[in-house]
Amino acid sequence: MNLSLTQGLNREMKSSPLGKMSSDPSICCIGAGYVGGPTMAVIARQCPGCQVTVTDVNGDRIAAWNSDELPVYEPGLAEVVSAARGRNLHFTTDIDAAIRGADIIFISVNTPTKQYGVGAGKQADLKFVELSARRIAEAADRDKIVVEKSTLPVKTAEAIGRVLAANTRGHRFQVLSNPEFLAEGTAVRDLLDPDRVLIGGERTPEGERAVARLADVYAQWVPRERILTTSVWSSELSKLAANAILAQRISSINSISAICEATGADIEEVARAVGMDSRIGSKFLKASVGFGGSCFQKDILNLVYLCETFGLREVAEYWEGVVEMNRMQRRRFAARVMRSLFNTAAGKRIAVLGFAFKKDTNDTRESAAIYVCNDLLAEEAQLALYDPRVTAEAIANTLNAGAGSFEVCASPYAAAEGAHAVLVLTEWDEFRGLDFERIYRSMKKPASLFDGRNILDLRALKRLGFEVHGIGRTIETS
Ligand code: UDX
Ligand code: ADP
């Protein structure tokens, strides 16, 4: 084959991502957040033949991705980024150029719960998704595969398709749903070794070719039998259903923790006994101060909204109960703290250890800590907070001090100094190994300790002199 013919073929491969050719596609991702950043970094590392460009409207975020201080903390992520960055992984604010250069465009922008108008408090706000679709239609110079990566309400792919079709300048688009199942804190591991990759596409020859094109990318490191292909709607609904069912398990065990506290049963023993039933399984049965994160509540509320839209009132109420139970768990925790402080927190120092919604992430979105802290601030408490990864700025952005106050401390010991109570709200490993004798000595007495994650040896802490409180467990006084 002569050179010019090869070049012509290469051009053709690049110019028809919807066609039969299967060179390594070039990829771009709109949105460089907790999902887009790690996902693209892993694709770039695992697919050295793909050029991967991540783009965002937020210039500071892009600058951080190009620096040694990544905007997202995830174990192992820095290594993955540094292996690929500059080689086939690029971060840029030039969205149009990134769109033009790509065969496959992932949309991974934020989809917060709508705070205004119809559907406020439940429906996902799709304005960033719609803006991205319009931008793609305007900037595209050839046919493209557009992939919805963010968790979105069912039928969003259809809406994206309509925006693209109405604004196209003669190019064709195939819209796929490829929901991300990674959990924060284990994102790199989840991406490298996923339980499954789900790709939903139109049941047409063009749709199937687009699905196959994306499947080929993942197949470079994921076994084929773990790559599931479905219709677009099944894919979109599967993601909502998976998150709703995971959250439902946590609300179920948390509801049982309330009964344990009332009756003296121990939730850890109950969860173990229940989880050993192989039909139930032991995962996601850890009682806690409440689930947080950007997905669970939002996705359930999306599901609720969907049900209401289709007149499925009982189904909507069923799932709304999962969110309500979570709210109750957080409120109940703050109320127990208040009781231990003789129902007055005004002017009292309370140490809060952990602010992230789970360990190994710097993400605070919907963290139970926000709600517990705000309840205590409303009681005019003086909070002293410590988290190993969350910045003081991120904490300050989420709290309403009101007549209370809060300060962010450099260590757990500094936070506990002079406190009436210590609350453990995130299960960071470092909290297990703290010198609690030192903490006890530095606190006001009686010194209360609330373990909102059941990670501490409450019996040993009781022997040190603490008044101890776990989730769903009562420690006898003897
Ligand atoms: C979740 C899903 O797990 C993931 O598949 C999806 O892609 C995004 O949403 P994430 O929110 O990152 O991931 O973390 P996850 O590990 O699911 O934890 C969510 C919350 O539930 C955290 O606040 C965690 O502390 C809490 N949790 C989890 C419990 O309280 N008990 C448990 O047993 C498990
Ligand atoms: P997620 O957890 O879903 O990744 P994040 O909020 O962490 O959500 O990230 C979403 C990113 O998408 C943000 O960095 C935001 O600036 C970016 N973004 C939102 N809208 C657009 C847009 N229209 N074009 C490019 N980037 C966008």
* 283 and 202 in a common domain: no
Taking CA atoms only, the protein residue closest to ligand 1 atom 7 is 181
Residue 143 to residue 21: CA distance in whole angstroms: 13
Inside any domain, residue 244: no
140 with 284, same domain: the answer is no
Query: Does residue 203 sit in the same domain as residue 56?
Result: yes
Out of 19-33, 256-270, 330-344, which region has the weakest mean confidence (pLDDT)? 19-33
CA of 183 to the centre of ligand 1 (A): 6
Task: Choose among 4, 139, 116, 132: nearest CA to 57.
Answer: 132
Structure confidence at residue 5 (pLDDT): 35
User: Which burial class, exposed, middle or buried, applies to 440 when counting CB atoms under 10 A from its CB (0-12, 13-18, 19+)?
Assistant: middle
Looking at residue 41, which CATH number applies to its domain?
A: 3.40.50.720
Q: How far apart are the first and last CA of the chain?
A: 86
Same-domain check for residues 336 and 420: yes
Inter-CA distances, 76 with 92, 114, 167, 187, 197, Å: 22, 33, 40, 9, 21
102 located within any domain:
yes
Q: Using an 8 Å Cβ cutoff, are 390 and 185 in contact?
A: no
Considering the domain boundaries, does residue 34 fall inside one? Answer: yes
> Can you tell me the distance from the alpha carbon of 387 to that of 408, in angstroms, rounded to the nearest whole number?
8
Q: Are residues 198 and 311 in the same domain?
A: no
**Cα–ligand 1 centroid distance for 78 (angstroms):** 22
Q: Which range of residues forms the domain containing residue 32? A: 3-222
pLDDT of residue 19: 56
CB 426 within 8 A of CB 354: yes
Question: Does any domain span residue 290?
Answer: yes
Report which DSSP code applies to 113.
B
At 251, list the tokens.
Answer: 């609300």
Annotate 350-408 with DSSP letters as a single string: EEEE--SSSTT----TT-HHHHHHHHHHHTT-EEEEE-SSS-HHHHHHH---TTSEEEE
pLDDT band at 4 (very low <50, low <70, confident <90, very high): very low
- Per-residue pLDDT of 181-229, as tens digits, reads 999 999 999 999 999 999 999 999 999 999 999 999 999 999 999 999 9
Q: What is the mean pLDDT of the chain?
A: 93
Examine the domain organization and report whether 188 and 284 are in the same domain.
no
- For ligand 1, atom 20: residue with the closest CA: 291
φ, ψ for residue 186, nearest 5 deg: -130, 25
* Ligand 2 center from residue 110 Cα (angstroms): 5
Q: What type of residue is 378?
A: A
Give pLDDT, residue 18: 63
In a domain, 268, yes or no: no
- Residue whose CA is at the smallest distance from ligand 1 atom 25: 358
Residue 17's pLDDT is: 63
The whole-angstrom separation of Cα 83 and Cα 121 is 41
Q: Is residue 230 situated within a structural domain?
A: no
Prior bond of 446 cis (ω within 30°): yes
Q: What is the rounded distance in angstroms from the CA atom of residue 416 to the CA atom of residue 425? A: 14
Q: Would you list the DSSP string of 124-184?
A: B--HHHHHHHHHHHHH-SS-EEEEE-S---TTHHHHHHHHHHHH-SS--EEEEE------T
Last residue of a domain, one of 200, 222, 244: 222
Best substitution site from 253, 329, 355, 357 to test ligand 1's pocket, by max atoms within 8 Å of Cβ? 357
pLDDT in tens, 42-71: 999 999 999 999 999 999 999 999 999 999
Q: How confident is the model at residue 22 (pLDDT cuts 50, 70, 90)?
A: low
Residue 237 lies in a domain: no
| Separation CA 65–CA 203 (nearest Å) | 37
Lowest mean pLDDT among 109-123, 129-143, 336-350, 420-434: 109-123
Q: Are the C-beta atoms of 325 and 291 separated by less than 8 Å?
A: no
Q: CB–CB of 357/292 below 8 Å?
A: yes
In a mutational test of the pocket of ligand 2, which residue from 34, 39, 57, 95 has the highest number of ligand atoms less than 8 Å from its CB? 57
**Residue 75 sits in the same domain as residue 208:** yes
SS3 content of the chain, % helix, strand, coil (to 5): 45, 15, 40
Question: Which residues line ligand 2 at a C-beta cut-off of 6 Å?
Answer: 30-36, 56-58, 61, 95, 108-110, 128, 131-132, 150, 294
Q: Mark whether 178 and 57 lie in a shared domain.
A: yes
Token pair of 146, please? 């557009």
- How buried is residue 387: exposed, middle or buried, by Cβ count under 10 Å (0-12/13-18/19+)? buried
Q: Is the dihedral of CA 94, 134, 230, 313 positive or negative?
A: positive
Residues 171 and 43 in one domain: yes
Mean pLDDT, to the nearest integer, of 240-244?
96
User: Using CA atoms, how far apart are residues 422 and 376, in angstroms rounded to an integer?
Assistant: 13
Active site residues: 180, 239, 295
* Cβ–Cβ under 8 Å, residues 33 and 323: no
Residue pair 331/375 in contact (Cβ under 8 Å)? The answer is yes
Q: Which of 177, 194, 222 is the last residue of a domain?
A: 222
CA-closest candidate to residue 144, choices 25, 51, 9, 33: 25
Same domain, 444 and 308: yes
Report how many domains make up the chain: 2
Q: Let me know whether 201 and 283 are in one domain.
A: no
Question: What atom in ligand 1 is closest to the CA of residue 357?
Answer: 23
Residue 155 confidence (pLDDT): 81
Q: Which of 11-20, 145-154, 197-206 has the lowest mean pLDDT?
A: 11-20
Q: Which atom of ligand 1 is nearest to the CA of 295?
A: 9
199 and 298 inside one domain: no
Query: Ligand 1 in contact with 284 (CB < 6 A)?
Result: yes
Looking at 204, 222, 240, the residue that finishes a domain is 222
Q: Is residue 266 part of a domain?
A: no
- What count of Cα atoms within 13 Å lies in the side-chain half-sphere of residue 428? 23
213, 145 contact by CB (below 8 A): yes
Tell me what pLDDT residue 14 has. Answer: 43
Ligand nearest the Cα atom of residue 112 = 2
Model pTM score? 0.92
Question: Ligand 2 centre and the CA of 409: distance in Å?
Answer: 30
Query: With pLDDT > 90 as the criterion, what percentage of the chain qualifies?
Result: 88
